[in-house]
Amino acid sequence: MADPAQTILARGPWQPDAVRAVWREDAYQPDAPAAAEADRALERLRERGSPTHDGLAARLAGFELADGRLTLELQPIRWALRLSRTDAGDTISALCVVRDSDGRWLAGRRAGWVATWAGRWALGAGGAVEVGESPVATLTRELSEEWSVEPARLQIEALVRTPNRSVMLVAQAWLPPGAAVAPDHEHDQYSWWPDEVSRWPPEADPLLRDVGVMLEAA
C-alpha cells in the first residue's frame, strides 16, 4: 500500500501458530528528547484525569519471514514512549479487528479518560503487548477484556508501521453467529459498521479506513 498513513512491513495471512515471539532481555534505551516527550505525554494525561500507569511494554526490534512463518524479535521498552506523536520507538501493539457472521465490523468509541484514542472510534480490540507476552496472545486477551467474546476464527493479517513509528500486529477475528458483545468501561458507545468500507460513517478515522481497505483486499 502506498498510502503514507502507514507502511506494511509484512503481509500474511498467517494462522496464529505461524506467528511467534522471541524476547530479548535488554531493554530499549531512548534518547533524552524521546524520554522527555514521554514525560510530557504523561503529564498531559494527568491534567485530564487519565491513569498514568507508566511501566514496560514491548518494542519490535526486528522480524523474520521464513517458510510461511513470522518471527517477531521483541524487547522491553518504556510504555509511555508509545504516546509519542512523532517517534514511538517501534513500540508494538496488537489490533484485533472484529467481524460478525454477516461481515460487519465492530467499532467502539473510546472513553474520554483513556490514554490513547480518547473520544475517538476504534476498530475491534487492541492494546500494548506486555513484557514476555506473545502478540498473538495479546489479540485474544484484549478481545476478551474489551468485548467479553471469543473468536470462532482468528487470522493474522499484517505487521504495520504507523507515521509515529509505532507498530501494529493486525488480525481479523470472526465471531460465531448470534455472539453478543459487551463493551468494557474503556468504551462509551459501540456500533456495527457496514461490511463495505465505502459505507462506513464519517467518524471512521483515515487510519481505520486504511486498515479496512487492506483487509477487504485480503
Residue-wise pLDDT for 52-103, tens only, equals 678 999 999 999 999 999 999 999 999 999 988 888 999 999 999 999 999 9
pLDDT at 215 over 70: yes
Phi, psi of 24 (to 5 degrees): -90, 150
pLDDT band at 3 (very low <50, low <70, confident <90, very high): very low
C-alpha cell at position 90: 517501534
Q: Where are the domains of the chain?
A: 7-216
- pLDDT value at 124 more than 70: yes
Sheet bearing 19-23, strands edge to edge = 19-23, 69-78, 56-66
pLDDT in tens, 130-146: 999 999 999 999 999 99
Q: Which architecture characterizes domain 7-216 according to CATH? A: Alpha-Beta Complex (3.90)
User: Does the pLDDT at position 115 exceed 90?
Assistant: no
